[in-house]
Structure 1
C-alpha cells in the first residue's frame, strides 16, 4: 500500500499534496462503491423474495424517466463549480444553488405532466402486458416528482467538496443513505410487498441526502442569489453540455424505453436485474472518473497544464485495469452468481449479464470524453453523445428483428465504443502518438472479443 501511495503521490514532481489527495479520494470512492453495492445486493436479494420481476421493471421505468428530465436540463453545474476559477467563492456557489433549485422545480413539473399523460393515454395506447399498461404507474410517477425537487434543494457545498477531493464525506453520507434505504424498503415490504416499497427506499435516500448536504458538507449557508455575469458563465459552459446530457440520456436509457415496449413485462424485469449488476460495476468506474479524475485534471489544468498528459496517462491506466478485471469477472462468473443467489425464475438474467459485460471494455474510453469537457470542449461532447444516441435508437430495433434479443444485448453493450474513433482523433495531438496507438489497439481488441462472446454465449 505504501508503494502505491508513493507512486500516486509522485504523479506530479514536487506536488505531493495533489498525489495524496488523489490517492485518498480514490480510496474513499472505492470504499463507498463496494459497501453501497453490497448493501444494494442485500436489499435486492431480500426484495426478490417478496416482489415479482415486474416490480423491478416498473421501478426501472420510473428511474429512467427521472434521469431523462435530469439530463435534458443538465447544464453541468457540478462541472462548472469543479473547474471554474471562482468555484470556491461563496457568492458563486449560492448563485449556482439558485439555478439548481429552479431547475429541480422545473423537472418536478415535467414529471407531473408525464404522470398525467400516462394516466390519460396509457389505458388506450399501451401494449398489453407491458410496463406502460400497469394502472399503478401514473401515481408512482407522480409521487416520484418529489425526487428532483429534493435533489435541486441540495447544497452546492457538495460540489465544493468534489473540487477539493474530500471524498470521505461522500462515503459516509452515501453509506448512511443506503442503510436507511434498506431499512425503509425492508420495513415497507412487510406491509405492502409491491413496487411501493422500492419507491419508499428511493425517497428515503433523497430526503437524507438533502439534509446531509446542508449539515455535513463544509461551505457557505445557502440562500437565493442572483448574478447575471455568473449565470452567463454557467450557461456559456453548460449550453452544449445540456444537449450532450440529453443525448447521453438517450444513449444510456433508450434500451429501457424501447425494450419495455418490445418485451413482455417478465423478460424486461429480468433484463433490469442483469443491468443492475452491470451498473454496479459501471458506477465504480464512473465514480472514479467524476470524483477523482475530473477534479484532479481540473486542478492540473488550472495550475500546471504542462503535466496534464502525464497525469491523464496514469489515471487511464488505472481505469483500464478496473474495466478489464470487471469484464472478466462479470463474463466468467456473472451467470453463476445469478444462479447462486436468486430463485429459479431469475436465472435467465445470468445469460443476459454475460453479454452485457462487454460494456466494460467500451467504458474505458469515457475518461477521454471527460477530458474533452475539462478542456472546455463541450461542443465535441455534444457531437459524441448525439452519435451514441442515434446509433442506439437504430441498432436496438434493427438487431432485435434481425438477431433476436441476444443481438440486442450485444448492441447495448458496445454502443459506447462506436464514437471512440472520433474522440481519439480529437485528442491525438494532446495525448501523443503512443497513447493513440494503444487506445486504437484496445478498441480493435474489444470489437474482436465482442464478436467472440456473442458467438459463444
Structure 2
C-alpha cells in the first residue's frame, strides 16, 4: 500500500509539495488529453458517416480564423497570472478578467468584419471549388463571433488553478463539455447533416466552458475592475508576447490559409482530417508544457532557481520519450489507421498523417521556448515566431509548386524546428552543455528522419 501511495499519490488532490503537485497536475493532464482526444476522434469518426469532407474543411477555416484573432490580440494574460508576484490576488485577477472580457468583444468585432469581407469579396476573388468560394462561409463566420465573447467571459480563476497546478477541475470540465458537444452534434446532424451541426456544437461547448469557469473553479468572484499599475505591468510583459502570438499564428496556421487556396475543397478536407489525428498527439505535449511544465518551472524560478537545470532535464526527458514514440507509431501505422476507421473517400488522409508524424520530433522544442518566456525573455518569443512565420509562408508555395503536396506536408511538419538552434544557444548558459549537446543530437536526428521520410515518398 505504501508503494502504491508513493507512486500514485500525486494524483490525489491535497498534496502540497511541488513534486506532488507536478505529479497531480501531470496525471490529470494526461487523463484530460486522452479523454478529450478520444472523444474528439470518436466525434470525427461518427460525423464523417453523415458529412462530406468539405464540411470539416470549412469548420477548420472558421477555427483558424478565430485562432488568428485570438493570437493577434494575445498579451499573455495566462502567463502573467502564473508568473506574477500578485497572481494570487483577487484584485489582480479581476483586472485581468476585465481586460480579457474587453478583448473578447474586440475579437468578435474583428470576426464580424472578416465575415463582411468574405461576403463582399469572395464571390469575385475566391478560386472556384475552394472553401473560400462556398456561399455559406460568410454567415458561418459571422455566427462564430459568439465564441470569442464566451471565451473572454471565462473567469480568470481558470488561470489561477493553472498557477497552483490544480488541474483536475479542468479535466472534468473539458471531458464533460466534449461529451455534451458530441451528443449535441449527433442530434443536430440528424436534422441538418451539414456544416451547421458542427458550428452549433462548437458554440454550445463555448457556452458550457464559460459557465463552468464561474461556477466550478474556486476563487474570487469576477467583476469589472481597473488598475493602471496592473494594466501597465501586464502590458510591459505581454507586448512582445502579443507580437509573438501574432506570428505564432502565422507559423502554425498559415498552412491552412495557403493550402485552402491551392487545393480543391475535398483535398483540403482530407488534409484537415489528417491534422486532427496529428493534433491529438500534439495536444498531449502542449498540455504538459503549458499546464504542468510552465507553472512548475515558474515556481522553481521564483523559489528554487538552483534546481532549475536538474528538474527541467527530468521533465524534458519524460516528454521526449512520448514524442519519439508518437512519431514511430504514427509514421508506421497512420495510413493503416485511416484505412481501417474511415470510408474509402477518406483514405488519402492516411498518407498525409504518416508525413505529419514528423511534427512530433520538433514539437518537443516548445518546452525550451516556454522556458525562455518563463525567465522573462518575451522578446525571444517574438523572434522565434517571426522566423517560423516567414519560413512557412515562403516554403509552402515553393514546395507545392516545385514538388507537390506530399513534400509540402513534410515542410509543414518540420517548420517548428527551424528556430531550435536559436533557442538552444540562448538557454545554454542556463541549462548547461550537457543539455545543449543532447538537444543538438535530437535536432540532427529529426533532420535525418525527415530525409528518410522524403526518400520513402
Shorter-chain TM range is: over 0.9
| Partner of residue 193, structure 1 | 193
- The alpha-carbon deviation at position 123 of structure 1 amounts to 0.4
Q: Distance in 2 between matches of 1:298 and 1:452?
A: 38
Query: Displacement of 1:7 after TM fit?
Result: 8.3
How far did 1:210 drift? 0.4
Using the alignment, how far apart are the partners of 2:177 and 2:5 within structure 1? 29
Q: How does 1:51-70 map to 2 (within 5 A)?
A: 51-70=51-70
Corresponding position of 1:329 = 329
Q: Tell me the equivalent position of 1:112.
A: 112
Q: Is the 8 A contact 1:9 1:18 kept in 2?
A: no
Aligned counterparts, 1:239-388, within 5 A: 239-388=239-388
* 2:446 alignment counterpart: 446
Structure 2 unaligned blocks of 5 or more? none
Deviations 1:44-102 (A, max 9, x none): 11100000000000000000000000000000000000000100000000000000000
The equivalences for 1:73-112 within 5 A come to 73-112=73-112
1:5 deviates by: 8.2
| Deviation readout 1:322-351 (Å, 9 max, x if unpaired) | 111111111111111100010000000000
Give the deviation of 1:450 after TM superposition.
Answer: 0.5
* Distance in 1 between residues matched to 2:16 and 2:261, nearest whole Å: 53
- How far residue 319 of structure 1 moved from its aligned partner, in angstroms, is 1.1
TM-score normalised per structure 1: 0.97
Partner of 1:406: 406
Change (3 A) 1:314 1:2: farther
2:418 alignment counterpart: 418
- Residues 1:83 and 1:46: Cα distance change in structure 2 (over 3 Å): same
Deviation of 1:306 after TM superposition, in Å, equals 1.0
Secondary structure in structure 2 of the residue aligned to 1:160: helix
The answer as to 2:231 corresponding to 1:231 is: yes
Q: Shift of residue 431 of structure 1?
A: 0.5
Q: Please show how residues 162-241 of structure 1 align to structure 2 within 5 Å.
A: 162-241=162-241
- Aligned equivalents of 2:88 and 2:227: distance in 1? 16
Matches within 5 A, 1:26-37: 26-37=26-37
Counterpart Cα distance in 1 of 2:76 and 2:119: 32
Q: For the residues of structure 2 that align with 1:349 and 1:2, how far apart are their CA atoms?
A: 48
Q: 1:319 and 1:2, CA in 2 relative to 1: closer, same or farther beyond 3 A?
A: farther
- 8 Å contact from structure 1 (residues 8, 19) kept in 2: no
Q: What's the secondary structure of 2:165's corresponding residue?
A: coil
Q: Is this contact kept in 2: 1:104–1:152, CA < 8 A?
A: yes
Distance in structure 2 (CA, Å) of the matches to 1:265 and 1:168: 40
Aligned-residue offset at 1:137: 0.2
1:17 correspondence with 2:17? yes
Q: Distance in 2 between matches of 1:358 and 1:161?
A: 33
- Is 1:160 aligned with 2:160? yes
Distance across 1 between alignment mates of 2:179 and 2:389? 35
SS state at 1:364 partner = helix
Q: Normalising to structure 2: TM-score of the pair?
A: 0.97
Q: Cα RMSD over matched residues?
A: 1.5
The secondary structure found in structure 2 opposite 1:432 is helix
Range with greater deviation from structure 2 (300-309 or 111-120): 300-309
Cα offset, 1:6, TM superposition: 5.4
- The CA deviation string for residues 169-222 of structure 1, in whole angstroms up to 9 with x for no partner, is 000000000001101100000000000111011111100000000000011000
**What SS does the aligned partner of 2:269 have?**
helix
Instruction: Report SS of the residue matched to 1:365.
Output: helix
Matched residue of 2:74: which SS? coil
